[in-house]
Chain A
Amino acid sequence: MKFKTILNLVAIAITLGAISIGIGQLSYSWLPPQASVESQLIDNLFSFLVTLGTFIFLGVTGTVMYSILFHRAGRYDLSDGPPIEGNVTLEIVWTAIPFLLVLWIAVYSYQTYMEMSIRHPMEMAHMPMAKAIAPAYAEPMDEAVEPMTNIEVEAKQWAWVFHYPEKNITSTELHLPVDRRAHLILRSLDVIHGFYIPAFRVKQDIIPQKNMDFEFTPIRTGKYRLRDSQYSGTYFAAMQADVVVESKEDYQQWLEEAAKRTPSAAPNEAASEYALREEKSAESAWVTVVPASEPIVNYHP
């Protein structure tokens, strides 16, 4: 009898485990394409958490559903259940197991975090270039020593402007060479903005009056979206830009072509929407901070 119970429990645990692992693998598909080294690390951690979470969720709700289905009182059954007030062993077990699980999750998260080496902006400034590259990446060493792509990012209400000091050009579209670590200096002119590229899984708030150093490594060519992730006022949702990751040759070509262009006004959703609103003098709108005028840049889509 007891053996049978244990066998049943083991069978249930194996089934739940299998389902959980399946859902954990499925969870990769809930996320955007993995376009950076960081995204692979984070997705693995997320998948692990989904696996564990599914197991716990199914375990707990399954037990509750079983009780609901099979431990119902009959219509005229006014009796009480067994007066069990507790069980010390059980209580110790369900304190200890979550505690160990938490430690496991914490250690795994810590390792992932260290590998991502998202450093504190202040710390970065005092670090020699070579040391700033985390050794844990599965990249060939010669690439790791390669200089980083340096870009200055300017955020304002409500536009992104990217400045490439290498060729002294500006753009409203972020171009990045693939497989090379990008080093960005983020600046804000007015309020806190958030630099967020979902496909890279990276995010950093930009505190005004500070230079925020930020690094990541794109590994997949394509076109992605940069969004403002920290609420920045009226046209917050319109503050988006395209991110183009391209081969090193294409990138060099783009830089040179952009350098030849004369600066012109880039289209800006906030500015044009505001102009339209003022034209209509919409009554069902409140006064807003006036958007910065269209940025004058070498390159814009």
Chain B
Amino acid sequence: MTQITPEILTNKTPESPPNPPNWLRYFSFSTDHKVIGIQYTVTAFFFFLVAGIFAMIIRGELITPEADLVDRTVYNALFTMHGTIMLFGWMFPVLAGLANYLVPLMIGARDMAFPRLNAAAFWMVPFFGMMFILSFLVPGGPAQAGWWSYPPVSIQNPSGQWLNGEFLWLLAVALSGVSSIMGAVNIVTTIVRMRCPGMGWFKMPIFVWTVLAAQIIQLFGLPALTAGAIMLLCDLSFGTTFFDPAQGGDPVLFQHFFWFYSHPAVYVMILPVFGIFSEIFPVYARKPLFGYKVVAVSSLIIVALSAVVWVHHMFASGTPDWMRMLFMISTMLISVPTGIKVFAWVATIWGGKLRLDSAMLFALGGLINFVFSGITGIMLSSTPVDIHVNNTYFVVGHFHYVIYGAIVFGLYAAIYHWFPKMTGKMYYEGLGKLHFWLTFIGTSLNFIPMHPLGLMGMPRRVASYDPEFAFWNFIASIGAFILGMSIIPFLVNMVASWLSGPSAPDNPWRAIGLEWLVSSPPDVENFEEIPIVISEPYTYGTSEPLTENMGG
């Protein structure tokens, strides 16, 4: 083994073929941003499936009013871990994966600024992800306090064990935070300092803008959650009383720490999806992105506003009036920059030459779902309405529409769009369309009924409910099972296409962008020669070349 090492070290020159076999690279400590990007995406997808199975058990329990499928403790553990794994195991890693894969290619860099840090950040993901899953084995079971982990419930620790589910949960969340901060430092440095010549700020693709915006939120938001988590861990395990009201602590302070990060976290997730929409609509509508500069800058406005909206999660927590009104208005204001983006996309599509490939279908579906979730979001921001529907299924329906309806749709769109670039293979269009329709129907059936349920007053996180809620819950459960089935054509399509799909050309969609000027999949060094960008990113309908030296 040791004799091979020098050879691995020397294979940095672009001409020599990569030393380990191709597939093995994906299981190694590779520092290639493209390998890491795919590692992130595939690992995240595994956790998506795990947390998805939890969701199906939850919906199985809720198909009837009584708590009859699993014990209440198991149900509580399942919804806690469903939320936690979906966010920390699926959402953040898959977005990190896409950013990793695409950002260096899009800005004309050979790799990320810190390739080893990049790999280290990735390898923490399977580690803390397994911690979440293994916490099912400790005495007392995994954390059962919801993904908010509000004290005092989260520090009650009925098992009395030092090694309990909540303890592991806090450790894993902290590790996820460290991994995300490492990723954020890397991505921000890469975008600010590694852009190729000619790529000024207003020549960057919108995806790069939105990733930058999202990572800035990570940098200022995550530390607040970390601070809260450290204090919660001290309360749980070291006898402090920060959040224990019985001993002078203040449980509401934790809610502030938590939401100061966890509301902006939604923008961390959705901003890159806005970027994906902005990339995909021009390609499949054959038109430039409408109002590119405004769309770019609106991401930064969202970042600034996202820092001052968190109290809208606590309108029912006994917050003072001035706070309720102030945060109501700041929350509503977010709809302005967001609206700008939505209108820009609609105008981009308008009068175009639409081609409804799988990526475009998912992007359009995601856009419609997003508009719907944005409208329920405005309703929630209005304090009087929120006082009624806060902590009910209306909120659950709203954020699942955001996260599944808009974000996951956007992620699927991105995977279909860049699949040929990543793997060098084309996917099967028919399976992609089947996948889209199953997902769209499943999403609608699963999440629309949650809105009337919330309006009727069904609280979230319940294992049993009054019979008046039975009808809509039944529909929602059927929708959930359809959503579960929708994964099958996707998985079949991805695996079969990657193994034996037809080879992809360099630019199957006739898209404009640096990533489409290199081979599919790109070489280890991305570009033979660093590109020199001379035009704006979305010049559809004109014959302006994108670069001086590589055409486009």
Contact = CB atoms under 8 A, between A and B. Distances in A.
B466 A225 contact: yes
A293 interface: no
Given A194-B391, A207-B245, A237-B72, A73 B371 contact: no
Given A82-B351, A205-B316, A288-B73, A230 B336 contact: no
A181 B146 CA distance: 35
6 closest residue pairs by CB, A with B: A198-B457, A83-B541, A237-B462, A286-B141, A73-B353, A285-B71
Contacts of B349: 64, 67-68, 71
Given A63-B346, A83-B540, A120-B320, A94 B351 contact: no
B391 A289 contact: no
B356 A68 contact: yes
Contacts of B347: 84, 87, 90
Contact of B384 (A73, A112, A232, A286): A112
7 contacts: A72-B355, A90-B347, A116-B384, A121-B318, A203-B316, A207-B252, A233-B76
A228 to B, nearest CB: 7
Contacts of A80: 286-287, 353, 540-541
A261 B330 CA distance: 53
A78 B507 CA distance: 14
Contact of A237 (B332, B352, B379, B464): B464
Interface string B350-362: 1111111000000
A60 interface: yes
A73 B329 contact: no
B382 interface: yes
Contact of B387 (A201, A236, A288): A201
Given A80-B541, A83-B542, A109 B384 contact: yes
Nearest to B541: A83
B459 A229 contact: yes
A83 B287 contact: yes
Contacts, number: 293
A240 to B, nearest CB: 8
Interface in A84-125: 84-87, 90-91, 94-95, 98-99, 102, 105-106, 109-110, 112-113, 116, 118-123
Contact of A203 (B319, B388, B460): B388
Contacts of A102: 329, 332-333, 335-336
Contacts of B293: 86
A106 B379 contact: no
A228 B317 contact: no
A41 interface: yes
A77 B284 CA distance: 12
A106 B76 CA distance: 36
B551 interface: no
Contacts of A254: none
Contacts of A287: 73, 139-141, 158-159
B378 A53 contact: yes
Given A286-B71, A288-B73, 14 more contacts: A30-B452, A42-B387, A49-B382, A63-B346, A67-B285, A67-B354, A71-B349, A80-B353, A83-B288, A85-B288, A86-B291, A109-B385, A208-B245, A236-B76
A14 interface: no
B146 A81 contact: no
B510 interface: yes
A49 B374 CA distance: 12
Given A53-B378, A73-B355, A286-B141, A233 B153 contact: yes
Nearest to B346: A63
Interface of B: 67, 70-74, 76-77, 139-141, 144-146, 148, 150, 152-153, 156, 158-159, 245-246, 251-252, 285-294, 316-321, 324-325, 328-329, 332-333, 335-336, 339-340, 342-344, 346-347, 349-356, 364, 367-368, 371-372, 375-376, 378-379, 382-385, 387-388, 390-392, 452, 455-457, 459-466, 510, 536, 538-542
A60 B371 contact: yes
B287 A203 contact: no
B346 A60 contact: yes
Contact of B368 (A42, A61, A113): A61
B76 A53 contact: no
B540 A64 contact: no
A208 B352 contact: no
Contact of A227 (B150, B355, B459): B459
Nearest to B79: A231
A289 B287 CA distance: 60
A99 B383 CA distance: 18
B81 to A, nearest CB: 13
Contacts of B156: 191, 233, 289
A250 interface: no
A85 B290 contact: yes
A117 B542 CA distance: 59
A135 interface: no
Nearest to B380: A49
A277 B71 contact: yes
B371 A61 contact: yes
B239 to A, nearest CB: 18
B346 A53 contact: no
A56 interface: yes
Determine which residue in A50, A202, A204, A233 has the highest number of CB atoms from chain B within 10 A of its CB, and name it: A233
A209 interface: yes
B286 A73 contact: yes
Contact of B367 (A64, A71, A113, A277): A64
A30 B540 contact: no
A275 to B, nearest CB: 14
A271 to B, nearest CB: 13
Given A57-B371, A86-B292, A208-B246, A81 B352 contact: yes
Contacts of A238: 464
B372 A202 contact: no
A113 B325 contact: yes
Interface string A37-65: 00001100110011001001100110110
Contacts of B324: 113
A78 B283 CA distance: 12
